[in-house]
């Protein structure tokens, strides 16, 4: 098994390769053969379709911890020092549990982000219901010998007409108290990229309208899974999407490792946002009482950025 090829992202000073990038006339198809030497036969990915509620919570917490230490924006930003007041008396009841928000930590916030934004939705009568079950069929995990989750990816069906029915939610407000600068970057990039893809490729637009596009949302590993094995999560996920009849995959690759994984499979770069193009948060060495900050005002310490990809399957 070989290590992934190095993936070079443009730096913050490269003004030619940012924003919407040049696209080919036709999107190349996924290349599983080229990816074969980089796959693992020791760590196999399994579908999460039959996961219990406890396993979904374990997956969410593993991803939250991994992103706290490895995701370049999450790692660099300081939490507001004060917990948002909206969370002080808030209790959430969903298919997993009935509990308060818990600790005001990055790890816990990201765990709740998955539960609130992917695993559940809020209906108009304010009753929590399970989200589109397709996220269970599209997500993958790697387990150790004791069946603990040591790696995982969360994906869901993408829709350009997805309505946000989660307004007036105290947990969502609490999550955004930290994640809003990151969410703003990702949503702005996604809007530009999806628009450009829809204009350029009629089949992509049709696939969006008919629910045949997957958003490869998050991929992460614990310290118990070596980085060289994590590519199996990506490759196995794409195989699963293809088998289930999906036509395209999109992802925001905040780390060049994810970019390398998708480029190895023949994905195309669509949009690039440098992290240090401009300052997006307040500057503080130790954190501010009520707002997100960083030591230098930038959203990440890395000179690279976030790349949006599309993969035709």
Q: pLDDT tens for residues 126-162?
A: 444 445 678 999 999 999 999 999 999 999 999 765 4
Task: Give dist(CA 250, CA 178) in Å, integer.
Answer: 25
Tokens of 127: 């009753």
Q: Is residue 34 part of a domain?
A: yes
Q: Is residue 8 part of a domain?
A: no
Q: Is residue 14 part of a domain?
A: no
Contact 46/240 with Cβ under 8 angstroms?
A: no
Give the CATH number for residue 170. 3.40.630.30
Q: How many separate domains does the chain show?
A: 1
pLDDT over threshold 70, residue 125: no
> Residue 121: pLDDT band by 50, 70, 90 thresholds?
low
Task: Give dist(CA 205, CA 294) in Å, integer.
Answer: 38
User: Tens digits of per-residue pLDDT, 251-276?
Assistant: 999 999 999 999 999 999 999 999 99
Contact 35/265 with Cβ under 8 angstroms?
A: yes
Provide the sign of the torsion angle of the four alpha carbons 241, 246, 247, 251, taken in this order.
negative
Q: Is residue 180 part of a domain?
A: yes
Q: Is residue 159 part of a domain?
A: yes
Return the bridge partners of 141, or none: 46, 152
User: Tens digits of per-residue pLDDT, 171-195?
Assistant: 999 999 999 999 999 999 999 999 9
Task: Give dist(CA 232, CA 228) in Å, integer.
Answer: 9
User: Tens digits of per-residue pLDDT, 29-76?
Assistant: 999 999 999 998 788 899 999 999 999 999 999 999 999 999 999 999
Q: Is residue 7 part of a domain?
A: no
Sheet holding 213-221, edge to edge: 19-20, 268-274, 305-312, 248-253, 213-221, 149-158, 140-143, 46-47
Q: What pLDDT score was predicted for residue 18?
A: 83
Mean pLDDT, range 83-100, rounded to an integer: 89
Which residues constitute the domain of residue 137?
Answer: 19-312
Q: Is residue 3 part of a domain?
A: no
Q: What pLDDT score was predicted for residue 284?
A: 98
Among candidate residues 95, 186, 80, 81, the one with its CA nearest the CA of residue 135: 95
Q: Is residue 10 part of a domain?
A: no
Mean pLDDT, range 102-127, rounded to an integer: 81
């Amino acid at each position: 098994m070989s290590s992934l090829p190095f993936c070079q992202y443009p730096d913050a000073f490269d003004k030619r390769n940012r924003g919407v990038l040049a696209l080919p006339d036709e999107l190349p198809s996924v290349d599983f053969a080229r990816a074969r030497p980089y796959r693992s036969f020791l760590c196999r990915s399994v579908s999460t379709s039959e996961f219990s509620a406890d396993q979904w919570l374990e997956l969410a917490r593993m991803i939250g911890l991994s992103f706290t230490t490895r995701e370049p924006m999450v790692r660099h930003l300081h939490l507001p020092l004060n917990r948002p007041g909206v969370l002080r008396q808030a209790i959430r009841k969903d298919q997993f549990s009935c509990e308060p928000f818990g600790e005001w930590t990055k790890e816990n916030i990201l765990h709740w982000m998955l539960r609130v934004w992917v695993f559940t939705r809020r209906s108009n009568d304010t009753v929590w219901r399970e989200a589109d079950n397709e996220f269970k069929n599209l997500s993958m995990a790697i387990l150790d010998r004791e069946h603990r989750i040591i790696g995982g990816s969360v994906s869901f069906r993408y829709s350009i007409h997805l309505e946000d029915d989660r307004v007036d939610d105290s947990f969502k407000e609490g999550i955004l108290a930290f994640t809003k600068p990151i969410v703003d970057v990702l949503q702005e990039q996604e809007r530009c990229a999806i628009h450009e893809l829809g204009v350029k490729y009629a089949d992509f637009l049709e696939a969006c309208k008919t629910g045949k596009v997957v958003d490869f949302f998050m991929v992460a590993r614990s310290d118990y899974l070596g980085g060289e094995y994590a590519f199996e999560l990506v490759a196995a996920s794409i195989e699963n999407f293809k088998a289930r009849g999906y036509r395209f995959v999109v992802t925001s690759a905040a780390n060049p490792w994810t970019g390398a994984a998708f480029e190895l499979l023949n994905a195309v770069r669509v949009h690039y946002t440098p992290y240090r193009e401009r300052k997006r948060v307040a500057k503080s060495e130790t954190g501010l009482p009520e707002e997100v900050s960083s030591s230098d005002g930038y959203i990440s310490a890395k000179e690279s950025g976030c790349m949006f990809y599309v993969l035709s399957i």
